[in-house]
Amino acid sequence: MRVLMLSWDFPPRSTGGNAAHVHGLSQALADAGHDVVVLTPAMRRPDPAVADVGRVRVLRADVGLPHIPDDRQLAIAASANHALTQAVFDAGSPLSGWRPDIVHGHDWRVGWAADTVARHHDVPFILTMHGTERVRHGGNLPEGDPTDVNSIEWWLAFRADRLVASTRFMVDQLVSTFELAPEQVVRVPNGIDPTLWAGHDRPTDRQPLIVSWGRVQYEKGFQVLARAMTTLRHRVPDVSCVIAGRGSYLPELQTQIDVEGVSDLIELPGFVHDAALRHLVQRAGCVVLPSLYEPFGLVALEALAAGAPLIVARTGGLAELIVDTDAGLTFEPGNPDDLADCVELVLRDPALAQQLTTNAQRLIETKYSWGAIAASVVHVYDDATGHRMR
């Protein structure tokens, strides 16, 4: 099968879990024998060119837009989609003469281009929605860009032959929000390559260190962890915490840490490279993901694969990933006292911590390998293709 996959982010350009998802999925599809091309904006401004990334061909289109301010996300996306479409159809395109059997877009930012290419070739358009604007804002859309993005998502939901979401939570949100037939939305979880997080069989090396990472936004709930540290300093000797990542909420988080009086316990190193992050997680006493909202939580899979005892907020995709698996503990979202109780339990009970990591490894191997995820996606492709032929 020839698959054209469109993504706003793709390594080395990455601003969240979408890039890792598209990279892992595209490689697994190619390893299974499919002809996969990823179309994505270029980091710089070269002429559009195809370069191999593993078995996947990657077309990086020049979407340089110096005349549009960075905060005009809709204008940037609209103009970039024009450039992405040109990169496919221009006479000198590296894809000239290549026709996809499936066009698979990821989120609204590449939706216009994905829809256009699919309609031109009369092939199924699959859209993975990694989240929605309405869910990100807790169901209350502010005026401005969020409302406009929600309208674009509505339009794409009805243009796509199938929608894919990573959790039952997100499937339910898409069906109810966009008033879709249940059979139009398919759950396919995110995946992970556990070999990238290997080397964690050192339970005796673990420290009373709490590690958390991700985009530093309000909805990630790092402020809840900061509050929990005020309690933990009196309960767990030598406890410390690292919150890695960058984001718009970083100044407010630093202010809260200072106000809570835990700046001596919490380090905010900003962006941490993968190798350093893996080393940090592998010696951590536990990983905490305190999100107030999380449609899936790729960070949770990374923590499970790294073998760190995991504690997550009981919300959205995080709850679906962990509840009833015995691979981690959960706490009430936004409740620092509940979180502190869970952290103390894990850090003071090595047997519990080891049991959690053993269960986590089993969960990753059986449900979240990229080969299994790719097979599920191919089933979606086949179903959409067969439906069009009927």
* pLDDT tens string 48-58: 566 777 789 99
pLDDT at residue 131, rounded to an integer = 84
pLDDT digits (tens, 9 = 90+) for 237-265: 999 999 999 999 999 999 999 999 999 99
Do 362 and 373 share a domain, yes or no? Answer: no
Task: Please give the helix or strand (H or E) that residue 377 lies within, else none.
Answer: helix 370-389
Do 198 and 186 share a domain, yes or no? Answer: no
Do 179 and 246 share a domain, yes or no? Answer: no
Do 150 and 212 share a domain, yes or no? Answer: no
Do 175 and 200 share a domain, yes or no? Answer: no
pLDDT digits (tens, 9 = 90+) for 275-293: 888 888 888 999 999 999 8
pLDDT at 107 exceeding the cut of 80: yes
Average pLDDT for the chain? 89
Do 303 and 173 share a domain, yes or no? Answer: no
Distant-in-sequence, close-in-space partners of 89: CB < 8 Å, separation ≥ 6: 117, 120
Q: Report the range of poorest mean pLDDT among 80-84, 284-288, 295-299.
A: 295-299
Please check whether residue 13 is in contact with residue 40, taking contact to mean a CB–CB distance below 8 angstroms: yes
Domain harbouring 174, CATH code: 3.40.50.2000
Do 76 and 200 share a domain, yes or no? Answer: no
pLDDT at residue 355, rounded to an integer = 93
pLDDT at residue 121, rounded to an integer = 96
Q: Which residue has the tokens 């679906």?
A: 320
Do 169 and 252 share a domain, yes or no? Answer: no
Show the domain range for 285.
194-367
Reduced to 3 states (helix: H, G, I; strand: E, B; else coil), residue 323 is: coil
Do 318 and 375 share a domain, yes or no? Answer: no
pLDDT at 202 exceeding the cut of 60: no
Q: How far is CA 331 from CA 197, 209, 269, 325, in A?
A: 25, 18, 26, 15
pLDDT digits (tens, 9 = 90+) for 40-50: 998 665 545 66
pLDDT at residue 382, rounded to an integer = 96
6: exposed, middle or buried (Cβ count in 10 Å: 0-12, 13-18, 19+)? buried
Do 241 and 354 share a domain, yes or no? Answer: yes
Reduced to 3 states (helix: H, G, I; strand: E, B; else coil), residue 230 is: helix
Q: Report the range of poorest mean pLDDT among 70-79, 111-120, 345-354.
A: 70-79
Distant-in-sequence, close-in-space partners of 85: CB < 8 Å, separation ≥ 6: 112, 113, 116, 117
Do 76 and 222 share a domain, yes or no? Answer: no
Measure the CA–CA gap between 256 and 227, rounded to whole angstroms: 8
Which pLDDT band, with edges at 50, 70 and 90, does 137 fall under?
confident
Q: How many domains does the chain have?
A: 2
Measure the CA–CA gap between 59 and 329, rounded to whole angstroms: 42
Measure the CA–CA gap between 75 and 12, rounded to whole angstroms: 24
Task: Please give the helix or strand (H or E) that residue 282 lies within, else none.
Answer: helix 274-282
Do 182 and 226 share a domain, yes or no? Answer: no
